[in-house]
Amino acid sequence: MSPGYPFTAIVGMDDLRLALVLSAVSPATGGVLVRGEKGTAKSTMVRALAGLLPPVSVVAGCRFSCAPKDPDPDCPDGPHTDAEDTLNRPARLIELPVGASEDRVLGSIHLERALTEGVTAYEPGLLAGANRGILYVDEVNLLHDHLVDVLLDAAAMGRAKVERENVSVSHAARFVMVGTMNPEEGELRPQLLDRFGLTVEVAASRDPELRADVVRARLAYEADPAGFAARYAATERELSERIVAARERLADVILTDAALRQITEVCAAFEVDGLRADLVTAQAAIAHAAWSGRTVVETEDVRAAARLALPHRRRRNPFDAPGIDDDQLEQALQDATPDDPGPDDPDDSGPGNDPGTGPGSPPDDTPQQPDAASDADTPLDQSPESTDSPSDPPPTTQQHPARPAPDSDVQQASIPFRARLLTVPGYGSGADGRRSRAITSNGRTIGARRAAEDTSGGIHLVATLRAAAVHQAAGAAGRGPGALTTDGVRSGTTGRPIVRPGRDDLRVAVREGREGNLVLFCVDASGSMGARQRMREVKTAVLSLLIDAYQRRDKVGLVLFRANEATLALPPTSSVDAAAARLETLPTGGRTPLAEGLAETARVVALEGVRDPRRRPLVVVVTDGRATFGSDAVPRSRAAAGLLAREVHRARGGAVVVDCETGPIRLGLAATMAGHLGAEHVVLDGLAAGSTAGALTSAVRTHVTSSQRRAA
């Protein structure tokens, strides 16, 4: 087996290096979320971290990595005693696949043995292997919601709990969670996002020389992995020893009142939610001080911790790019620094003075940074000279590329509102989400079915026993040990019937949950939509629906039609913020090619039905219904509506027509089109949750449908 890529051989990405090392020094920081474009060595660096971690002392033979001096009292392999052997093994990095089942993550109970033998046989999952180690989730933003819930529970409680039909097992699950993601594929749920202590935004360098160094190093590794790793063995060992020294120094680091005031001032200045940001920033500042060889937290430690702990916690809505403003951070640090610092304030550096040399600084024998880190570890040190300059912000604070300045004629959206829930009728079985009803592996139990080969985690105990009792009460002898007599009582017993389920009797629970859908917007951007600032209201409504789609874990797509054509402005994607960016610069004007817009939407629905058949579509047509392009605009629009209706029906989806018509005289063309589509008709003002117009939607839809049937 070839050695992994050395941690110290990775070129650039200084902030990611620092964040991972701080998590290794102090697991209390809460792990790291790495956001960045594809091909930036995110996974390579995370996997390389495992080789730097110090060995872990465990109870020999314990599958849950219990510490010999402080074993878990509820360990399934316990109770452990002082007489048991101990073992020093390398720290583990457990990878959690995106498509893993809940039983693979939590572990499972062998229910067939539990039912037939009365034995609780527990098989540990990935969380048991990650205890006292690192849990790595690549593409964490694509993780199914039920697995996200499992991780949230384990991260909050420090324990994993498995419950199957009144059989319960729990064990310790304390791990450092490291996740990587590509924002283009969708954002992370806010609850899980907040569980990551630190976050880093990475991007490939645009410097040709640096890119050449990266390619040169990678080619050298692929040509001779063992030789390449050997060249970095010394720097890897030095870095590992420095991490061990920082861990030992961690308990001696003092967080002064002045430093704590700086932390709380910074968190308040950025208006972060809750107090977890303050706690994480404090833990990261303490870890940074220990890593830097200091025993007192200084301003530089607070600055470095804030840049890593706050970017993902200051977002006001889902479409804000993570990051913090350097000027605002410096101002908050200055506001929290007293004019005349007391003797316990280590940060007494005046202009031209280095931190730690003024009055109140640590004594000269305070441990300094090891000399051995001169080569491999230099990027991990953030000196005041390298971080105080606002003109050279670290990658941690990198923003997404600036959106193009909107055209002067482009109407901007107002403040979005909470949109009412739009759903696809019937039951689906697609991706986990929070929109439409679906038959899922978790949720409310609504029935039972005969078990297939895979019965893990879904046995319906009552239905299983009922199926077994029917057979055995009828005198089905020869079903194995415990078969009943013809009167339903086992020979030699005191008269209590005993049911012994067989494989054919097993029943699996059928559960109702929620699924995510493909929300495909078909937006009319013609001149009539831009009249009287109506497009501002349209953009606000669509933006509100986009936020709702983000919260409900949907994919989104955007079809725009204006002038004489319809275009797929955004192919279906999980990156909802990309749709918001397209919507922001959407111009209006020209005639209304309604038929072309509906036909293009039908084409996208059909194509996505092949690409992702398990995700049912919800088509949202936003228009006033006026077709003005072409002499035969009306019949072509009616034909295109029929085509779209057939494609939506074939995909078992649904449709909604948002009526944008205004004025004292209304033609009702959007309502008529909703009838041709078999879609729900909603006036634009009725999209807000709890609105009076929204409450009348069902009545309007019934009236329109009846009118269309009479006309036909």
**Domain containing residue 357: CATH number:** 1.10.8.80
Residue 281 lies in a domain: yes
Q: What 3-state DSSP class applies to 452?
A: coil
Instruction: With respect to residue 235, please indicate whether it lies within any of the assigned structural domains.
Output: no
CB 258 within 8 A of CB 264: no
| pLDDT given for residue 238 in this prediction | 93
**pLDDT of 530:** 64
The answer as to whether 236 is a domain residue is no
pLDDT number for residue 711: 46
Co-location of 499 and 543 in the same domain: no
Tokens representing 309 are: 């702990």
CA distance 157 to 27: 15
DSSP element (H, E) containing 47 = helix 42-49
Q: Could you confirm whether 650 is annotated as catalytic?
A: no
What per-residue confidence (pLDDT) applies to 520? Answer: 94
Q: How many CA atoms lie within 13 A of 346 on its CB side?
A: 25
Q: Which of 80, 162, 79 lies closest to 126 in space, CA to CA?
A: 162
pLDDT per residue over 153-178, tens digit each? 888 788 888 876 566 788 899 998 99
The DSSP secondary structure of 284-341, one letter per residue, reads HHHHHHHHTT-SB--HHHHHHHHHHHSGGG--SSTTSPP---HHHHHHHHHHHS-SS-
Q: Are residues 85 and 115 in the same domain?
A: yes
Neighbours of 165 (CB within 10 A): 15
The enclosing domain of 571 has a CATH number of: 3.40.50.410
d(CA 20, CA 14): 10
Q: Which residues lie closer than 8 Å to 665 by C-beta, 6 or more apart?
A: none
Strand partners, 655: 619
* pLDDT at residue 234 in the model: 93
Residue 460 is assigned to a structural domain of this protein: yes
Residue 563 burial (CB < 10 Å; 0-12/13-18/19+)? middle
Whether residue 684 is found in the same domain as residue 634 = yes
Are residues 498 and 613 both part of a single domain?
no
Q: Which of 492, 513, 534 lies at the terminal end of a domain, its last residue? A: 513
Instruction: State residue 115's pLDDT score.
Output: 61
* 470 and 339 in a common domain: no
Note whether residue 8 is domain-resident.
Answer: no
| Cα–Cα distance measured from residue 110 to residue 102, given in angstroms and rounded to the nearest whole number | 14
CA 112 to CA 107: how far, in whole Å?
Answer: 15
Within-domain flag for 56: yes
pTM of the complete model: 0.65
Residue 442 pLDDT = 67
Dihedral (CA of 2, 6, 7, 12) sign: negative
Considering the domain architecture, whether residues 580 and 693 belong to the same structural domain is answered as yes
Burial class (CB in 10 A: 0-12, 13-18, 19+), 404: exposed
Domain for residue 489, yes or no?
yes
Residue numbers in the chain where pLDDT is lower than 70: 1, 110-120, 164-167, 315-322, 338-413, 442-443, 453-458, 471-499, 530-533, 691-712
Same domain, 53 and 173: yes
Cα 582 to Cα 62: distance, rounded to the nearest angstrom: 54
CB 309 within 8 A of CB 277: yes
Name residue, tokens 């006309």.
711
Residue 242's pLDDT is: 94
The DSSP secondary-structure symbol of 210 reads H
- One domain, residues 157 and 127: yes
Q: Distance between CA 381 and CA 235 in Å, rounded?
A: 15
Which one of 218, 237, 276, 500 is the catalytic residue?
276
Provide the pLDDT for residue 692. Answer: 52
Q: Residues near 148 by Cβ (< 8 Å), separated by ≥ 6?
A: 189, 191, 192
Q: Residue 497 belongs to what domain range?
A: 439-513
The total number of structural domains that make up the chain? 4
Same domain, 311 and 190: no
DSSP letter string over 231-280?
Answer: HTHHHHHHHHHHHHHHHHHHTT-B--HHHHHHHHHHHHHTT-SSSHHHHH
The 3-state DSSP class for residue 194 equals: helix
402 domain residue, yes or no: no
Tokens of 194: 């907040």
Q: Which of 370, 397, 424 is the last residue of a domain?
A: 397
- 3-state SS, 511-560, equals EEEEECCEEEEEEECCHHHHHHHHHHHHHHHHHHHHHHHHHCCCEEEEEE
DSSP character at residue 688: B
Both 74 and 113 in one domain: the answer is yes
Domain boundary among 363, 397, 431: 397
Same domain assignment for residues 109 and 72: yes
Question: Under a CB-based contact definition with an 8 Å cutoff, are residues 620 and 549 in contact?
Answer: no
Residues 508 and 527 in one domain: no
Rg of the chain in Å (alpha carbons): 31
Question: How do residues 262-321 score in pLDDT, each as one tens digit?
Answer: 999 999 988 888 888 999 999 999 999 999 999 999 999 999 999 999 988 876 666 666
